[in-house]
Amino acid sequence: MAAGGLRAPVPGRCGYFVERKKRFCRMIPAQGRRFCGEHGHQEEENDRKRIPCPLDPKHTVYEDQLQKHLKKCNSREKPKPAYFVQDINAGLKDATEILDEQQLPISSLSKEELEDLIKKLKKASNGIKPILKDQMLSHQALQEALNDPKNGESAFKHLKQQASILGNMEKLHLLGPGRCFIEFGAGRGKLSHWVDIALQDAENVHFLLVERATTRFKVDGKHRKRDYIFERLQVDIQHLCLNKVPILEKEKLPVVGIGKHLCGAATDLALRCLVESYSTQYDERNEEPSPKRFKSDKTDIAFNNSADERSGKNVSENWKPVTGIVIALCCHHRCQWKHYVGQEFFRTVGLGPVEFNYFQRMTSWATCGMRETITEASTIDAKSKDQSNDIEEHDQVHNRIECSSDSLQGLLTVEERKQIGRLCKLLIDQGRIKYLQQRGYNAALQYYTDSSVSLENVLLTAVPSQSSVPQPTA
């Protein structure tokens, strides 16, 4: 048999040619067989019938062994962990929610309708500063890696972003002992890895990495022999109940929520998980006041629980279990009204789900004019296998976004689309800021890296407002 230029399969391997991959199957067949179990139906002498698995039609199974297979299939529904609570962070269902199939494309809008939509956007954005403050910082924990010539361009860009996130965390006094860092949308866990490097001498520090997907090339293995928790929670943020995570139930540590490029609705789910679901239930389950925290000096606030317990003093009722939030925002076009935490803000400025769904898609205009640059960079990065492992999903999203530039030709220039796209992103983020402020946090948006490093270069930070931080008594 010859196919795709190959004369025959590798000796000892399956003889089935996979057309989609343009090569022979590499599975090992049973002794005396030409094909593996998956392609066993190709055997002329084999009268056993194979059928698609009802749990996952991507693979097949012998019909007479179906019941046995269903009990061990990797696609079977697995027992839910204790911290899984259905839709706990999804938010209240809105009766005015617009279904995906009901959404009209922007290209279907008339010139008058589009102009009216842009007027609403500008009116709602009135009073919001269009230019954010630059907070492009770095951290000494990453200096060696940043200066390593072995790191390619893609790896260097990720390191710069991670260094700036750590720099901003340090500026907010969030890097310290006696707390639990929760990385949302953790992926390989690189951000938690660098936070751990920065806190090597700190005591009573734990890490929870939240990621719904199975991830390859994780850094978890580097932290298995340490005397602290470096645990991965494979669950959708929408269903994560932090109060039922064993380490948080046991130690009641202050929590710092972090994330690097937390896409779209995941940011809203994470915010609600931290400041609504977790904080509210934390207060309800603790009848006795928590230990008081003291200011160690003018620039830092100590959260080391062991020291606080020894002090024997109580905290005010406004103490918050979430001591900080640092999230690099990303992919506003993936936001969803049903999960959005800024619904109340949108309504106060005269907007609703209809406008939100248009603005959410128009956010892609902020980057659509730069697609050629991204494509060129991706081509360069793809030349190195090691570098390509560092390319995250959000880096490639912009190449697939329909920016509607062709359908809007003549109505708006490229520069006008960019400005409107940025304004849409800013308005959506402003709703998140208002949400946090209403719940007792000082929240802010800032540029944490240059647009040449990442087009998604806005960092959301939040710490409890001063009224929520207890002051030391004389």
**Which tokens hold the place of 371?**
């697609």
Average pLDDT for the chain: 81
Token reading at 442: 């000082």
Cα-to-chain-centroid distance, residue 217: 17
Pairing of strands 17-18, 23-24: antiparallel
d(CA 362, CA 407): 13
Measure the CA–CA gap between 262 and 39, rounded to whole angstroms: 40
Under a CB-based contact definition with an 8 Å cutoff, are residues 4 and 27 in contact? Answer: no
Q: Could you report the per-residue pLDDT of 213-225, keeping only the tens digit for each?
A: 888 878 887 876 6
Distance CA(341)–CA(347), nearest Å, equals 12
How many Cα atoms within 13 Å fall on the side-chain side of residue 174? 25
- Name residues whose C-beta falls within 8 Å of residue 363's C-beta, 6 or more positions apart in sequence: 332, 333, 335, 421, 424, 425, 428
Q: Which two tokens stand for residue 427?
A: 């308005």
Residue-level pLDDT at 338: 92
> Is pLDDT above 60 for 226?
yes
Question: In the predicted model, is pLDDT for residue 21 greater than 50?
Answer: yes
| H/E stretch holding 326 | strand 322-330
State how far the Cα of 235 lies from the Cα of 209, in Å rounded to an integer.
10
Sheet holding 255-263, edge to edge: 133-134, 441-447, 458-464, 322-330, 255-263, 179-184, 205-210, 230-233
User: Tell me, what DSSP letter sits at residue 174?
Assistant: -
The amino acid that residue 293 corresponds to is R
Report the relative pairing of strands 179-184 and 205-210 from DSSP bridges.
parallel
In this structure, the dihedral spanned by the alpha carbons of residues 204, 282, 90 and 172, taken in order and rounded to 10 degrees, is -50
Q: Per residue in 28-48, pLDDT tens?
A: 988 888 888 788 776 655 567
State the pLDDT at residue 470.
43
pLDDT of residue 5: 52
**Structure-derived torsion over alpha carbons of residues 425, 430, 431, 435, reported in degrees to the nearest 10:** 140
Residue 385 — pLDDT band, cuts 50, 70, 90?
very low
Q: Which residues pair with 258 in a beta bridge?
A: 183, 326
Sequence-distant (6+) residues with CB within 8 A of 166 are: 138, 139, 141, 142, 175, 194, 195, 198
Q: How much is the CA Rg of the chain, to the nearest whole Å?
A: 26
Better-scored residue on pLDDT, 398 or 191: 191
% residues pLDDT > 90 (the chain): 52
Length of the chain: 474
Global pTM exceeds 0.85: no
